[in-house]
Amino acid sequence: MNNLTISNIDRQNVLNNRYAVDVLQKDLGFTGMFFEGEYRFTKKMVADFYEVDLSTVDRYLSLYTDELKHNGYVLSKGKQLKEFKLQFAHVINEVSKTTQLGLFSFRAVLNLGMLLTESEKAKQVRTRILDIVISTINQKAGGGTKFINTRDINFLPAAIEEDNYRRKFTSAVGKYVQGHRNFKYAQVTDLIYQAAFKEKAREYRALLRLDKDDNVRRTLYAEVLRCISSFENGIGFAIETEYKANGGKRLSMNRVKELIAEQELSPAMQPFIYDARTKMASRDVAFRDVFHNNIAGYLRAVTPEEFDRFIGEKSIDFDEIMNLPENKEVLKRLKQADDE
């Protein structure tokens, strides 16, 4: 998230994170006029804040109209403008005949600050943005983001589901595929990871800076786990079916690789793969500051609802939930799966 002046996705990841935006508004101390439930700022106020002239603000409004409007810039007119003037005419110094007035929300103020390249003040604001976004996410995630995926209420059901399918999958690989027991599990798992999100386990580990004892599956988002579950279930079934059709002859690793490639191209798998790659690419940039080059084409901004799911009101404390008596057996199963 270091290219705020260049990347619309990085800018939107900041602006969709209302927790960081709230902290930034207090930190910057730029309050404006409270109107219709939020602070509003005139173009002159914003120009003065960023120490640029009005023509510069107008130029950026022209260049980035859709983006700034999306993040709260409005042309106030009619009844809304009349009410605004009644409250703030003495502040804004606008003549009574003005028929429309450009107003920024605080998000739009931040948006402009992430675009302005002529302003030293905007550069300073961008530095504060980067610092505060990182610290806010880490604080909300409990001190680190390695396992931020587990704060999603959907993670635990997906992890249990994946564990069930993986047991069937490992059984099929163990019985019906040639090769050394431990090596072939790792090899087939790598092939599935590459098909799902185009990275081998060791590549993924390096990007996330995982410790040697960290289990990859414990760091995956629910949607990614469900994609893996679909692969494991389908491949396990295909391996067993072909083994029986071949009169009990074990499959070679090359044949398993072909089956996985076929499944990757299957129309039934395409929605799962697309969703998994999109979620991994996008969330890891926003939450973990990790860029997956192989699936960069799936990158998009994280939505406000996703911020709520992982660091906000809808997020959960996974460790706290797993310590409840009724979840002890589930935790035991997941730990056993980690050791496989």
The helix/strand/coil state of 152 is coil
The alpha helices in the chain, defined as continuous H runs, are 8-15, 18-28, 43-50, 54-63, 65-70, 78-92, 106-115, 120-140, 155-176, 181-197, 201-208, 222-245, 253-265, 270-283, 304-311, 318-322, 328-339
Cβ atoms of 338 and 176 closer than 8 Å: no
Q: What is the CA radius of gyration of the chain?
A: 26
Number of Cβ atoms within 10 Å of the Cβ of 113: 26
Under-70 pLDDT residues of the chain: 1-2, 93-97, 322-340
Decide: 38 and 103 in contact? Cβ < 8 Å: no
Residue type, 224: V
Listing from the earlier edge strand, what are the strands of the sheet with 100-105? Answer: 33-35, 38-42, 100-105, 74-77
Q: Per-residue pLDDT tens for 193-226? A: 999 999 999 999 999 999 988 989 999 999 999 9
In the three-class reduction of DSSP (H, G, I as helix; E, B as strand; rest coil), residue 101 is classed as strand
What is the pTM assigned to this prediction? 0.88
User: Residue 170, Cβ neighbours under 10 Å: how many?
Assistant: 19
Cα(202)–Cα(121) distance, integer angstroms: 42
pLDDT value for 56? 97
Tens of pLDDT, residue by residue over 135-152, are 999 999 988 899 999 999
- The pLDDT, as a whole number, for residue 306 is 97
**How high is the pLDDT of residue 94?**
56
* Phi-psi label, residue 78: left if phi above 0, alpha if psi -120 to 50, beta otherwise: left
Predicted confidence at residue 98, as pLDDT, reads: 73
First to last CA, the chain: 35
| Predicted local distance difference test score (pLDDT) of residue 92 | 73
What is the rounded distance in angstroms from the CA atom of residue 94 to the CA atom of residue 101?
Answer: 9
Could you give the 3-state DSSP secondary structure of residue 163? helix
